[in-house]
Amino acid sequence: MTKAETRYPPLEKVGLALITAAKKLPQYFQAHTIYVVTQDPVQAMFHKADFTGRIWKWGAKIGTLDVKYLPRTAIKGQILADFVAEFTPTAEQKDLNETTFQENTPEDSGWWKIYVDGASNAKGSGTGVVIITPDEMINGEYMTRDERMAAYLLKVQQTMTGFQTVRVEQIGRNLNSHADALATLASVLSADFKRFIRIETLATPSIAVPACHIHTITKDAVTYVKKCNKCQRFSHSVHQPAAELLPLVSPWPFAQWGMDLVGPLPKATGNRRWLIVATDYFTKWVEAEPLANIRDKDSIKFVWKNIITRFETPKTIISDNGTQFTSKPFMKYCSELGIRNVYSSPAYPQNNGQAEASNKTVLDGIKKRLEDAKGRWVEELPNVLWTFRTTPRRSTRETPFSLAYGSEAVIPLEIDLPTLRTSEWEPTRNDLAQSQALDLLEERRKQAMIRLASYQQQLKKGYNENVRPRSFHQGDLVLRKVLGNTKNPNDGKLGPNWEGPYRI
């Protein structure tokens, strides 16, 4: 194992051993049913919902194979063999023991008593030993399975120091039922538990069967379906939004940017498979750059090269919760420049709607240009960005180029088909026209902002009509959507869409 793997918890080491065996012996794992005999909850670890990262990857890998888990059978027959193997003396120890035995015979020093419980410990089938000397002194060695039992052992050892004489004996479980019952009751009671007697008044006898009336049968059926566990767990997924739409407006051009990552894409030159995209909320100007890695230092370099040095230092950057945007170096870099970081909800990354819309437009343009040559997307990216910047947006009715620079760009089409401004171009008049365009730029941007606000209100009205408000309070029972990492691969399309219930 690597140095990092040696620090894994014991349960994750078992999972690491299983996934390593599957990688090294794929011909056996893919052709046969593999039975894993273990006393550790490996299967529960792979199917647990709150695990992510490497545990989720391991579970996805093992889920594609026919692996079955069996509990470990009794190993009492192994105790004696392990005991003999561990305590067989060497030649030097044997001579020393014989000499000691000759000097201290049982007639001179008395007999020692040894009690063993025959239990297993974390290292195998070991023993817990209590040795009683002839002077009635106790020398105990105890080994525990986990940290929880170690805490109990420490408490027992601390308590034993308060007694002059301690005697430890093993008793059968049939004689320990009273102590087990008391321990179970103590574990389920809260600290503020008080003695009380519940009184419940029943409106009808508990053995009475509720009657079904023909006039209320539909209402009763609806009520039953709402309370039915299976009906709720196998119901369709809810696609209606839970909250109303909240439009975002940038106070001035290039003040607020939405950033996102697209990929992985087909491998291009330089091993570039990712695309980082940034969109200005006011002008809709898009900056994009292909990347081979998605590290935080690549994000910092993109912000400096494509945003700060080309336009200005932004006020806000909105992104998802990717590590390249939430890492300490990236947040420190933004903080030093006075940039505020805003992150979308982990459960709803689509809340960064501006970045998602730009990603969709850029990808659509790349798809239409490439067709079968998917590896050439890096070469076609500048053409797609130029098309995006010189096309009027529906929200502002202006091109991002005009809102950024004050005039429309001369596109290649105007070279073959001359327009009035290209055919009648004259340097002196062009400088005057540029000055007038800059004077009118502020008014042009205000009109674009008004049209943008009107467009957002129309979208908000249509979006809010489909909103299905859902409010939850502490103590409510809720169901959680079954995601890919918690779904049983053997269920297929017949599995439930929801799991639970869980209490908030």
**Beta strands of 78-212 (E only): which ranges?**
113-116, 129-132, 138-141
Model confidence at 25: pLDDT above 50: yes
Better-scored residue on pLDDT, 318 or 133: 318
pLDDT reported for residue 374: 67
Last residue of a domain, one of 15, 47, 70: 70
Q: What sign does the CA torsion over 174, 179, 185, 188 have?
A: negative
Distances from the Cα of 421 to the Cα of 208, 402, 429, 471, angstroms = 90, 15, 10, 59
Has residue 178 been placed in a domain? no
Q: Are residues 287 and 360 in the same domain?
A: yes
pLDDT reported for residue 285: 86
Q: Are residues 326 and 435 in the same domain?
A: yes
pLDDT reported for residue 133: 52
Mean pLDDT, rounded, for 43-72: 76
Q: Are residues 66 and 80 in the same domain?
A: no
Single-letter residue type at 327: S
Name the residue among 17, 43, 33 with its Cα closest to residue 67: 33
User: What HEC string does 303-331 produce?
Assistant: HHHHHHCCCCCCCEEEECCCHHHHCHHHH
Least confident of 108-117, 165-174, 186-195, 385-394: 108-117
| Whole-number Å distance between alpha carbons of 399 and 324 | 31
| Whole-number Å distance between alpha carbons of 84 and 490 | 45
Has residue 43 been placed in a domain? yes
Model confidence at 96: pLDDT above 60: no
Q: pLDDT grade, residue 145 (50/70/90)? A: low
Better-scored residue on pLDDT, 347 or 492: 492
* CA angle (111, 113, 119) in 5-degree steps: 155
pLDDT reported for residue 102: 44
Name the residue among 58, 70, 86 with its Cα closest to residue 34: 70
Has residue 83 been placed in a domain? yes
Has residue 448 been placed in a domain? no
Residues 443-457 have pLDDT tens digits of 777 887 888 777 778
Q: Which of 131-140, 361-370, 481-490 has the highest mean pLDDT?
A: 481-490
Q: Which of 48-62, 109-123, 212-226, 468-482 has the highest mean pLDDT?
A: 468-482
Q: Are residues 82 and 51 in the same domain?
A: no
pLDDT above 70: percentage of residues in the chain: 67
Q: Are residues 291 and 368 in the same domain?
A: yes
Q: Are residues 287 and 430 in the same domain?
A: yes
Mean pLDDT, the chain, whole residue set: 73
Pairing of strands 256-262, 316-319: parallel
Beta-bridge partner residues of 282: none
Q: Are residues 144 and 278 in the same domain?
A: no
Has residue 175 been placed in a domain? no
Better-scored residue on pLDDT, 317 or 425: 317
CATH number at residue 270: 3.30.420.10
Do 227 and 233 contact (CB within 8 A), yes or no? Answer: no
Q: Are residues 127 and 81 in the same domain?
A: yes
Has residue 177 been placed in a domain? no
pLDDT reported for residue 189: 57
Range(s) of the domain holding residue 129? 76-168
Distances from the Cα of 451 to the Cα of 41, 249, 395, 460, angstroms = 59, 12, 7, 14
Q: Are residues 64 and 89 in the same domain?
A: no
Q: Which of 108-112, 239-243, 257-261 has the highest mean pLDDT?
A: 257-261
pLDDT reported for residue 105: 46
Has residue 385 been placed in a domain? yes
Mean pLDDT, rounded, for 133-141: 49
pLDDT reported for residue 229: 76
Last residue of a domain, one of 168, 186, 218: 168
| Whole-number Å distance between alpha carbons of 456 and 467 | 16
Mean pLDDT, rounded, for 203-232: 73
Q: pLDDT grade, residue 497 (50/70/90)? A: confident
In this structure, what are the phi and psi dihedrals at residue 41, rounded to the nearest 5 degrees?
-80, 65
Model confidence at 359: pLDDT above 50: yes
pTM: 0.46
Model confidence at 136: pLDDT above 50: no
pLDDT reported for residue 177: 74
Last residue of a domain, one of 36, 70, 104: 70
Q: pLDDT grade, residue 261 (50/70/90)? A: confident
Q: Are residues 301 and 426 in the same domain?
A: yes
pLDDT reported for residue 41: 80
Structure tokens of 441?
């730029």
Has residue 290 been placed in a domain? yes
* CA angle (102, 105, 110) in 5-degree steps: 160
* CA angle (102, 105, 106) in 5-degree steps: 155
Model confidence at 503: pLDDT above 80: yes
Model confidence at 88: pLDDT above 80: no
Q: pLDDT grade, residue 188 (50/70/90)? A: low
Mean pLDDT, rounded, for 96-107: 45
Number of domains in the chain: 4
Q: Are residues 56 and 89 in the same domain?
A: no
Q: Are residues 357 and 435 in the same domain?
A: yes
